[in-house]
């Protein structure tokens, strides 16, 4: 007959290691299963244009609408309402997105005078004579280059639910 002997050691480390190895094995099995499932879906066909001279390649155009949407800007139809400001100067500012931390560090996606939007960090020159002063939650502040106080505040419209 089999007898179990109770020892004085009450170590839980072997059980903890077995539990950890079991969890890793389960995670690995699920990851492989999901990887195999994603491979079984047929990829979409993408046509590639043949170029005879590789030195004549044009840079791939960046779709600013997709970048703006990734930064939290409203859709293009909603973008016309309340995001652009014409200052007393000759510039028209359009705020398309903001990435800001609690410390005020971050960047803003701005379009100046209808040009394609570009990301700017605080302190960078946005247009001749204007710098991005600071960014906040859903807003960006602009200041003339020689001033330390912002004179223009651009704010993203509230997101519709």
Beta carbons of 124 and 63 less than 8 angstroms apart: no
* Helix residue ranges, H only, the chain: 13-40, 64-70, 76-79
Tell me, what's the pLDDT at 78?
Answer: 40
Cβ of 31: how many Cβ atoms within 10 Å? Answer: 10
Tell me, what's the pLDDT at 104?
Answer: 67
Give Cβ neighbours of residue 124 (< 8 Å, ≥ 6 apart): 131, 132
Tell me, what's the pLDDT at 35?
Answer: 83
Question: Cα–chain-centroid distance for residue 137?
Answer: 15
Burial (0-12, 13-18, 19+ Cβ within 10 Å), 68: buried
Tell me, what's the pLDDT at 95?
Answer: 86
Q: What is the pLDDT along the chain (161 residues), one digit of tens a residue?
A: 667 666 656 678 888 899 999 999 999 999 998 888 776 555 555 555 555 555 555 555 666 666 767 776 655 444 443 444 544 457 788 888 888 877 767 888 888 888 888 898 888 888 888 888 888 888 888 888 888 788 888 888 777 65
* CA atoms of 107 and 68, how far apart (whole Å): 12
Beta carbons of 91 and 145 less than 8 angstroms apart: no
């Amino acid at each position: 007959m089999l007898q179990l002997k109770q020892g004085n050691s009450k170590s839980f480390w072997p059980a903890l290691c077995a539990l950890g190895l079991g969890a890793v094995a389960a995670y690995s099995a699920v990851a492989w299963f999901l990887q195999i499932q994603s491979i079984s879906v047929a990829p979409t066909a993408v046509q590639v244009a043949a170029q005879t001279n590789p030195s004549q390649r044009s840079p791939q155009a960046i779709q600013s609408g997709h970048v703006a949407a990734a930064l939290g800007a409203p859709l293009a139809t909603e973008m016309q309402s309340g995001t652009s400001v014409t200052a007393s100067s000759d510039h028209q500012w359009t705020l398309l997105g903001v990435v800001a931390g609690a410390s005020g560090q971050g960047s803003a996606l701005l379009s100046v005078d209808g040009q394609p939007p570009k990301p700017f960090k605080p302190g960078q020159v946005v247009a001749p004579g204007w710098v991005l002063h600071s960014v906040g939650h859903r807003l960006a502040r602009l200041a003339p280059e020689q001033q330390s106080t912002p004179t223009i505040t651009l704010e993203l419209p509230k997101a519709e639910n």
